[in-house]
């Protein structure tokens, strides 16, 4: 902070001089001094940007090698469907995620590389097709060796498979059950993937609320979305929908479940629920392949 004091002092001196020049009707000098102030501000901002980068540089992207990409090909069905250019983009985003977000495998001293890949791929797939892919304030993903209970404790009777925290000390943390995380990728078209599901919640959270209303929609589009959601939830409750029943528990769960469905079985969603499919296409503008 001390290094910026001279700049602040310079701005104060220059700015305080302008009124005196205007009083003396020396408008040319006042204009010139105003120009100097603008230039000084630009230089100061440039200097501040350089110094900030030096203090907190962005983590270097983890570069995936040939073996890593082969692993993606064999274990991530979504990756396998992509074209050559998109596969490179996907691999780059996996590397960026692993560099930026801490992935902690509970019960192990060092997190397995495959675990990191499963988590990172979940994130990349959930945000794939968006004009941005910022994971907000997420700082750490805890990967538990099994399901857990509502209090985040490992428990033989625990049924929770994943959780995005909203507020509190763990606001920047996500928890995933490793067996469920892996099983989500073993069958690529079952409409079930807990990793994608939880990152869909994270996307929902990006406007400050996990409410099932996609943050990228305007007010009118949100009204149309809610109408579609209410109609689909009614069909689920009446047994007239191919969308998993869990989607009917709340609007937020509906959004996360449908993102799973859309990412894993887009053709089936288009066939069974064309209006909902079109809405998801508007959200995820997939024009990369």
Could you tell me if 71 and 167 lie in one domain?
yes
Residues 155 and 182 in one domain: yes
pLDDT digits over 29-67, tens only? 656 666 666 666 666 666 555 554 444 445 677 899 999
Do 133 and 213 lie in one domain? The reply is: yes
Do you know the residue count of the chain? Answer: 289
- Whether the CB-CB separation of 136 and 164 falls below 8 Å is answered with no
In tens, the pLDDT along 94-139 reads 999 999 999 999 999 999 999 999 999 999 999 999 876 678 889 9
Domain end point (choices 34, 55, 76): 55
> Within this chain, do residues 183 and 43 fall inside the same structural domain, yes or no?
no
**Neighbouring C-beta atoms of residue 183, cutoff 10 Å:** 15
> For the segment 2-27, what is each residue's pLDDT rounded down to a tens digit?
455 665 666 666 666 666 655 666 56
Predicted confidence at residue 158, as pLDDT, reads 83
- Does the residue 289 lie in any domain? no
**One domain for residues 116 and 40:** no
Same-domain pairing of 128 and 245: yes
- Determine, yes or no, domain membership for 125: yes
Question: Domains in the chain: how many in total?
Answer: 2
Q: Are residues 105 and 7 in the same domain?
A: no
Both 74 and 38 in a single domain? no
Distance CA 178, CA 30 (A): 67
Domain containing 16 equals 2-55
239 lies in some domain? yes
Residue 155 lies in a domain: yes
pLDDT of residue 1: 46
Using an 8 Å Cβ cutoff, are 193 and 122 in contact? yes
Strands 140-144 and 173-177 turn out to be parallel
Q: Regarding predicted confidence, which is higher, 250 or 36?
A: 250
Strand order in the sheet with 140-144: 102-105, 140-144, 173-177, 162-164
Whether 48 maps to a domain, the answer reads yes
**Residue 174 sits in the same domain as residue 274:** yes
pLDDT in tens, 208-229: 889 998 887 888 888 999 999 9
61 within a domain of the structure (yes/no): no
pLDDT of residue 236: 96
Same domain, 25 and 84: no
Q: How confident is the model at residue 82 (pLDDT cuts 50, 70, 90)?
A: very high
């Amino acid at each position: 902070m001390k290094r910026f004091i001279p700049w602040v002092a310079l701005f104060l001196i220059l700015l305080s001089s302008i009124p005196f020049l205007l009083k003396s009707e020396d408008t040319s000098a006042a204009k010139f001094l105003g120009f100097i102030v603008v230039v000084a501000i630009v230089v100061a901002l440039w200097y501040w940007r350089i110094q900030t980068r030096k203090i907190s540089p962005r983590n270097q992207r983890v570069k995936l090698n040939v073996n890593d990409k082969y692993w993606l090909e064999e274990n991530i069905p979504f990756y396998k469907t992509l074209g050559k250019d998109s596969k490179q983009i996907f691999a780059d985003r996996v590397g960026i995620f692993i560099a930026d977000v801490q992935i902690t495998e509970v019960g192990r001293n060092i997190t397995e590389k495959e675990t990191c890949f499963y988590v990172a791929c979940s994130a990349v797939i959930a945000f794939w097709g968006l004009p941005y892919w910022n994971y907000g304030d997420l700082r750490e993903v805890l990967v538990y060796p099994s399901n857990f209970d509502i209090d985040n404790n490992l428990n033989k009777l625990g049924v929770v498979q994943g959780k995005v925290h909203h507020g509190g000390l763990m606001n920047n943390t996500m928890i995933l059950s490793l067996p469920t995380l892996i099983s989500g990728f073993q069958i690529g078209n079952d409409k079930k993937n807990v990793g994608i599901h939880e990152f869909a919640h994270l996307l929902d959270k990006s406007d400050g609320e996990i409410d099932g209303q996609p943050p990228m929609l305007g007010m009118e589009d949100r009204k149309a979305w809610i109408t579609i959601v209410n109609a689909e939830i009614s069909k689920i409750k009446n047994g007239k929908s191919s969308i998993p029943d869990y989607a009917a528990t709340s609007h937020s769960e509906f959004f996360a479940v449908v993102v799973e469905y859309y990412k894993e079985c887009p053709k089936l969603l288009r066939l069974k629920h064309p209006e909902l499919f079109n809405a998801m296409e508007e959200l995820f503008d997939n024009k990369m392949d």
